[in-house]
Amino acid sequence: MTAILYPIVVLGGLGLLFGVSLGFASKVFAVETNPLVEAIREVLPGANCGACGYPGCDGCAVAMVEGKAPASACSVGGQSVAEKVASILGVEVGEINRQVATVLCQGDCSKAKNKYKFAGLRDCRSQNILAGGSKSCSYGCLGCGTCVDVCDYDAIHIVEGVAIVDKEKCVACKACIDVCPKNIIELVPYESEVIVKCKSNDPGKVVRANCSIGCIGCKICVKNCPEDAFSFENFLAKINYEKCTNCGICVEKCPTKAIFSDIEKVSLKAQ
Amino acid sequence: MNLFTILISTIFINNYVFAQFLGICPFLGVSNKTETAAGMGVAVTFVVTLASVITYVIHHYILAKLGLEYLQTIVFILVIAALVQLVEMFLKKSSPGLYRALGVYLPLITTNCIVLGVAILNIDMNYNIIETIVNALGASIGFAIALLLMAGVRENFELADIPKPLQGFPISLITAGLMSIAFLGFSGLV
């Protein structure tokens, strides 16, 4: 009888002892967490991408509760997450201006010239070290796809040697913006249909020699814009997206077609 | 055997990681950064030493008295699991950063064979309480040294030009093997 009783008593007794002491310890070492933080953390996408500027979703949730970050701080989650967060916090969230990453270069294989043939590692950063990359234009997309590698959302692809962002898939996490050695990827409002897709600060003559679709600094767009939405600096036209009404006049007038537009969409809107 | 011999032999000659191959999981899992490696080393040191003392007391004053030595494994695991829970609660309270950095490897100390291994070897070698403590300290210091050395090497992988097929875990395993061979050089020291 004791052969069965002793093991049961010993094991059960030890288990009980440890259980009680752990229960006591959990009271002593209890960490007080704000239930709001956990509730918000549940709602956030959990990608820990850092696009909000905080270290991971946990950090963002804490900042939201403390009021340091707005309810719409998570660009990945967009409107739906912002609304859920706002309802947890009991605040109003306005319309969010959704932004998407856009590659400001259209100099693909047929339009931009190369100064040498690059046969090294397929990585824009390493190519950039070698005399600023193989493109004659020192501002253009190198097309090695480093941005494609860092995109977690399959939103950016290399087409004809130039990176193109899929507007619908992009969540504005800024991973590609950080990694691009040429700094040609920028956040542009989702609504904007008319974008100057060139970053070249070279004078017109140099641009023309290197690429058939670059901004040559002719200022035709600046003169023709009815909304006065263009600014001009360093031989490069820039659109103020807040003023732009997507009328498409500049797209028609631009001699090199450096001003990109989804023409069909714009003309549909005009109708 | 005197205490100094036990200490030196468990740290260098019979290093639990390099010579007896116990505790390999955290050795490869948490050795990415020196900081987390040091944190893990301290956590394991605490658990191993305390577990050794408690298991020694339980074995000699409860199990052996009642003739229940066959319950050794299950009781020891119970002790270790409870201690790891305690460490986890303590770290969550006192150092949330380290707690997050260690991640899943902290509760995995429970199943880390070095803890159970040291506790059982203490009994098998018929150590007394002082020798048990020294052996446990030596074992965990040896483990921490292994972890820190590995972390130091692995941090340099970031800068090294490693052939593509060997990047990541393969080169870590090769390094671990080479370090193990290097530790063979200590044999015959005592």
pLDDT in tens, chain A (271 residues): 888 898 899 899 999 999 999 999 888 888 777 778 888 888 888 777 777 777 778 888 888 888 777 777 787 777 788 888 888 887 776 666 778 888 898 888 888 888 888 888 888 888 888 888 888 888 889 888 889 988 888 889 888 888 888 888 888 888 888 889 888 998 888 888 888 888 888 888 888 888 888 888 888 888 888 888 888 888 888 888 888 888 888 888 888 888 887 655 545 544 4
Q: Where are the beta strands (DSSP E) in chain A?
A: 99-103, 156-159, 162-165, 185-189, 194-196, 230-233, 236-239, 259-261
pLDDT single digits (tens) B45-101: 888 998 999 999 999 998 888 888 888 899 999 999 998 988 888 888 888 777 877
For residue A81, what pLDDT is reported? Answer: 83
For A41, A101, B8, B15, B40, the CA distances from B20, given in Å and listed in that order, are: 43, 53, 15, 7, 19
**Which residues of A lie inside 8 Å of B (Cβ-Cβ)?**
6-7, 10-11, 14-15, 18, 21-22, 25-26, 29-31
B62 chain-A contacts, CB cut-off 8 A: 10
* CA-based nearest residue in chain B for residue A15: B78
For residue B53, what pLDDT is reported? Answer: 93
A57 CB-contact burial (10 Å; exposed 0-12 / middle 13-18 / buried 19+): buried
pLDDT single digits (tens) B97-155: 778 777 777 888 888 889 999 999 999 989 999 999 999 999 999 999 999 999 999 88
For residue A214, what pLDDT is reported? Answer: 87
B63 chain-A contacts, CB cut-off 8 A: 10
Query: Distance, in angstroms, between A90 CA and closest chain B CA?
Result: 28
Question: Structure pTM?
Answer: 0.55
Count the helices and strands in chain B (H runs, E runs): 9, 0
Q: What is the dihedral of CA A158, A160, A161, A165, to 10 degrees?
A: -30
* pLDDT score of B10 more than 80: yes
With CB atoms and an 8 Å threshold, state whether B74 touches A18.
no
Quote the crossing angle between the two packed helices A2-28 and B72-94, to the nearest 10°. 0
A30 chain-B contacts, CB cut-off 8 A: 93
Query: Distance, in angstroms, between B188 CA and closest chain A CA?
Result: 42
DSSP B63: I
Cα separation, A169 vs A77, in Å, equals 12
Q: Which amino acid is at A202?
A: D
Cα separation, A224 vs A91, in Å, equals 43
Query: Distance, in angstroms, between B4 CA and closest chain A CA?
Result: 33
With CB atoms and an 8 Å threshold, state whether A18 touches B82.
yes
pLDDT single digits (tens) B12-42: 988 888 888 888 888 888 888 888 888 888 8
pLDDT single digits (tens) B180-189: 999 988 888 7
Alpha carbon of residue A71 to chain centroid:
18
| Residue with the larger pLDDT of the pair A37 and B176 | B176
For residue A271, what pLDDT is reported? Answer: 46
Residue B48 backbone phi and psi in degrees, to 5? -60, -50
* pLDDT score of B1 more than 70: no
A26 chain-B contacts, CB cut-off 8 A: 89
Query: Distance, in angstroms, between A242 CA and closest chain B CA?
Result: 42
A11 chain-B contacts, CB cut-off 8 A: 71, 74-75, 78
For A105, B92, B122, B128, B130, the CA distances from B2, given in Å and listed in that order, are: 74, 39, 15, 12, 11
Q: In what helix (H) or strand (E) does residue B39 lie, and over which residues does it extend?
A: helix B34-58
How many residues are there in chain A? 271
